[in-house]
Structure 1
């Protein structure tokens, strides 16, 4: 934390910080900048922020978005080069991605602008090390030469956190394997003594929509002794993967939408969280620190039965469990879960049909006696509401459940029935959150909010915080 003693010139310091924070009306070309520039020209004016050492100013710039940090170069001759020494390079271009989502024809134009921007920053960058290097744009094989150069830049500067996110915001014609950037094999070969490529500083690695092989992933696990987080999403060409090693520092592993993946073997003593598409083909060994598991593929009552033996080596140590369930519109019937005394949070994504009852899900809540938070993310195949009377007949007190979040509440009688069960049985409940907006593409109308209030507000006791998003 930086402490600057107060003085009569604090107004100048606050003005400068307001500029740096990007407050409304401030910026290199805004009214705030012109006023600040005029004030700094007055005789005897004390510019406190410019009295700080360069390394502290660079630390401040590190907190700004990359484009905002670059704009500070117009402040004075001293500031021209300061931003070029920041160690975090996050090339975020959300506004351009929104444009492309609205008009796919802009993809090539915006892609060229993005590549030019990244190249320009890297050419002027002066820091000897890079803590974070993040590229997030819809780029494919067309830009493989530029992307390969970016990787050389990052690896040569001992990058600690590397993220390549080439996920399209809209549907892209062609298969994933054809369209995606292919991670270059040259980085996987043994480097020469003169090579500047270095993986030993890497702590976090994220590949999204990057064609990468299982051999490449295992290479990084071997060559990166400090690697703690690994994310691979929408990747093809991975069929079998081994994440094994008694000396692995890996704490977080996420394998999402890798549809060619057939088998995964995990033996990692420091692994704390695991997110995987399917439990089928998963073999867990030596995971004493594993407390969070998420299975993202849609599973039914039969595949849940297969899940339990897969998690047998860690199931009694789990604290967070996420499942994606679908019983194909039938009455929910789940196998008996063993009591998990350490489980604190349960997240269920459920696909329902029509007025299908959700009361079958309560068997999961009852299986976890010390559960403190329950999140339901509901998707309904056909949005139908009936005037069926709500019946709350199950009585099973929960003594520790404090927070419940119901995403996708539509006002069906079965929705209200589940909320009624929660209110009747959760004696320690402190907060109830209802989110009718889920999933994100379902647009909420004012009538949806009114329906939630009409159905539930009178039922919720005053001591419970009731939130409608």
Structure 2
């Protein structure tokens, strides 16, 4: 064997520093800006690498020392935060910035500094801009967003913008944001008129999110020439009406029950509603939900069940609905509803593939016993040829719960899985509303499901989440509902 054969081949040593600058920049850009800046002390070559960071995310509490006197002096902390953000902008190369996010306790007193940062965003052609000042309360003295400044700058590169706790007063002749596709407003001071000016100016807008904007009373999106596809409105407590753009495909809403006024047939395929003060989910589905939803495929509805719905004889049908999720709360001890009424949903949605029913009920509701509650009711056969997945949570073994589950099990010809969970999931209220004895209701639900549903399960599709008596007797309700919180000793 010659010397060449005996010589071990050595792999070439590739040092981190030898990587191309664009790759190093991409790696550094994954670090928080504060940590990225610290790499400048590694060597003379590293001194400028961080200055090409493409995601400039400034978070108030991360940019300041955790200990020291500044933590007790808000004005000094704000001054230090501004100084550090400005220092980064001054040292940054200005190349390829994709995102600028400033999240801190800033207000109109800081306007000069923020305006300079906006100039930097314009000069670097930033695509994604976030001003999140919502930790600053009360709402007096909010930063007045400089629309005139934007009108004078090139904002054609801006595609996404999020504004929190600012004041919006766009001039009537405002012309900018011509290519903006995403806009989210949170806790902003904006009137109906100013919102209309803003929306009219955003002709390419595809997503609009409005959260906790307390001055809005009416929102109209019907004039956006079919560009707006996704609308999300949440906790705008003075809002009385939403006029929908007929090009919408996704709608999310959380708040009190208000009219949804479409100009005509909607293209909506996905609707998520979390309603306050609604009294019956079935009534909303068949009466209040806009009837002009011929393409609806996914419907998620959360509300309190306070009364039994009186449904029209010839209720509407959702011919394209494939996924239905109901999150129902029963906050009163005296139940006025009958869950077997929900069987009509199988007829109303003949192409339904996935059905979720998540419930929560307070204590004092009894599990089903034939000697106490009579024989189980059954409805005429109603075969369903598409329902494959069913998930029912908050199943505590009440008679109408059992009757509905049996109806679905018997009539779903292609059912693959029926998951029954006695514990409440998505419909769960705040943890303080859970009574200390609710765990025994979960045990009732498990036992009823095993006794009656398993007996009817001829295709082995029923999956009941187990609840053990030992757990109920030894663990708190909180630990039962959130088992990951259990501390094992």
Structure 2 unaligned runs (5+)?
A: 1-8, 159-175, 371-375, 467-481, 483-489
Change (3 A) 1:327 1:204: same
Map 1:358-369; keep pairs closer than 5 Å: 358-369=339-350
TM value normalised by structure 2: 0.65
The CA deviation at 1:221 is 2.8
- 1:386 equivalent in alignment to 2:375: no
1:282 paired residue number: 260
The CA deviation at 1:243 is 1.5
Range 159-168 or range 201-210, more displaced: 159-168
Range 247-256 or range 74-83, more displaced: 74-83
The CA deviation at 1:263 is 2.8
1:187 paired residue number: 147
Change (3 A) 1:354 1:309: closer
Number of corresponding residues: 409
Map 1:148-297; keep pairs closer than 5 Å: 153-154=120-121, 157-164=124-131, 178-179=138-139, 182=142, 184-187=144-147, 191-192=151-152, 199-245=177-223, 247=225, 249-267=227-245, 269=247, 271-276=248-253, 277=255, 280-285=258-263, 289-297=267-275
Q: Structure 1, residues 336-395: CA drift from partner, whole Å, max 9, x if none? A: 641111111222232213474433333234311111222334343x33342333846345
SS at match of 1:179: coil
1:188/1:216 contact within 8 Å kept: no
- 1:300 equivalent in alignment to 2:279: yes
The CA deviation at 1:303 is 9.8
2:471 paired residue number: none
1:251/1:272 contact within 8 Å kept: yes
Q: Structure 1, residues 162-186: CA drift from partner, whole Å, max 9, x if none? A: 4555667xxx9x8xxx437746253
1:400/1:426 contact within 8 Å kept: yes
Tell me which structure has the larger Cα radius of gyration. 2
1:344 paired residue number: 322
1:18 paired residue number: none
Change (3 A) 1:466 1:180: farther
- Taking the aligned partners of 2:363 and 2:61, their CA distance within structure 1 comes to 32
1:180/1:209 contact within 8 Å kept: no
1:318/1:340 contact within 8 Å kept: yes
- Taking the aligned partners of 2:409 and 2:322, their CA distance within structure 1 comes to 19
Residue among 419, 430, 441 paired with 2:416: 430
- Taking the aligned partners of 1:360 and 1:95, their CA distance within structure 2 comes to 53
The CA deviation at 1:400 is 1.8
Map 1:10-89; keep pairs closer than 5 Å: 45-47=13-15, 49-63=16-30, 73=40, 76-89=43-56
Give the root-mean-square deviation of aligned CA atoms: 4.7
Change (3 A) 1:267 1:77: same
1:161/1:204 contact within 8 Å kept: no
1:158/1:202 contact within 8 Å kept: no
- Taking the aligned partners of 1:106 and 1:420, their CA distance within structure 2 comes to 61
TM value normalised by structure 1: 0.68
2:169 paired residue number: none
1:20 paired residue number: none
1:162/1:202 contact within 8 Å kept: no
Change (3 A) 1:75 1:442: farther
Structure 1 unaligned runs (5+)?
A: 1-6, 10-43, 100-104
